[in-house]
Amino acid sequence: MKRLGIALLGAGRMGQEHAKALAGIPEARVVAVADPKKEARELARQITKAERVYEDALAAIADPEAEAVVIVTPTETHAELIEAAAKAKKAIFAEKPVALGLEETKRALDAVAAAGVPFQIGFQRRYDPGYRRARELLDQGAIGRVDQFRQASRDPEPPPLEYLKRSGGIFVDMTIHDFDLARFLVGEVREVVAYGAVRTDPRVAELGDVDTAITVLFFENGAQGVIENSRRSVYGYDIRTEVFGEGGKIVVDAVPKTPTWRFREGGLEADHYHFFMDRFKEAYEAELRAFVEAVLEARPPSPGPEDALAALRIALAATRSLREGRPVAVGEV
């Protein structure tokens, strides 16, 4: 069995999750872990049984046994590390987004293209069994031509204001996953109109951001779509998708979390997913497995650089639409 030498860059909360996922992939061999925090990198080392740890991600990229890097560092470092890894001819898995801005994103992806290295972006929903099944059904023509797309995504709690300031705004930070799902299930988006509101904390408005949004999508194939977002859902992480077409409808909706129902006076009740990590645990494992397999088998991993770019363009178009109060063509961005 051939195994892929991997440097794990970043050992924060998501880094630890990726460490566990990598530990469970037989074809993956984590050779190095990098994180500025000693405790974090040591924990990830133990989880992954990695041989070496680094304070500096760039040093880990240079590790001679690292054939690939898994980038789970803070967002603002992604682009630089992608460029460095590309130059070092390493296969790259990067958590989304590449960068908050289009220019920086393009520069990083240009470096990837120039180096000809494999690149996968962390849109994990594509690897969720529910969404994979939806994609299969669509491929089988289960509903024929798509006419409408509906997506609701809500996070349990707004992130801290400090995070929000540097997040790029709700569309780039959060809705980008929905935009990718729209592309995955329906196709390219031609134009968007975004409507926002501030319902959780007035300071969100001061940042020029919103916490509640409806985005209308117009796809190149003529389908319409709508996405609803909220930063605060008291019942937990909420995600539901509907794809409606001339031949039927496909719905993906994971409720409840455990298949355990309590019947009590007058009714029944069940639990709900709390975090996106709960909902997409399998997907996070599967996307890394797919990355490792693709690199080992010299196939291009997916979703790739074009997917990273396309979702960002839609997110930026939505941001502009909200600011300027008008429909914005994705091609404008």
Dist. CA 55–CA 57, nearest whole Å:
7
CB of 86 to a second copy, least distance (A): 29
Per-residue binder mask for a second copy (CB under 8 A), 206-235, x = binder:
------xxx-x-x---xxxxx-x-x-xxxx
Of the residues 37, 38, 89, 133, which one makes contact with a second copy according to CB under 8 A = 133
328's enclosing H/E stretch is strand 328-329
Would you say 242 and 149 are in contact if contact means Cβ atoms under 8 Å apart? yes
Q: How far is the CB of 107 from a second copy (least distance, A)?
A: 35
Contacts of 35 (CB under 8 A, 6+ apart): 9, 10, 11, 12, 15, 41, 44, 53, 55
Shortest Å, Cβ 39 to a second copy: 11
Q: Name which of 58 and 216 has its Cβ closer to a second copy.
A: 216
Shortest distance, CB of residue 8 to a second copy, whole angstroms? 13
Angle at the Cα of 330 (from 329 to 333), degrees rounded to 5?
A: 105
Residues 149-168 binding a second copy (CB under 8 A) are 150, 152, 154
Distance (Å, whole) CA 82 – CA 59? 13
Measured from the CB atom, the residue of 16 and 105 that comes closer to a second copy is: 16
Neighbours of 124 (CB within 10 A): 25
Total Cβ atoms within 10 A of residue 99: 23
Question: Closer to a second copy at the Cβ: 133 or 166?
Answer: 133
- Restricting to residues 258-297, name those near a second copy by CB under 8 A: 258-272, 274
Burial class (CB in 10 A: 0-12, 13-18, 19+), 59: middle
Cα distance between residue 217 and residue 210, in whole Å: 18
247 is a contact residue toward a second copy (CB under 8 A): yes
Residue nearer to a second copy on the CB measure, 105 or 151 = 151
Site for a second copy in 41-60 (CB under 8 A): 43, 46-47, 49
Choose the stretch contacting a second copy; rule: CB under 8 A; options: 81-89, 110-118, 236-244, 293-301: 236-244
Residue closer to a second copy by CB (options 32, 61) is: 32
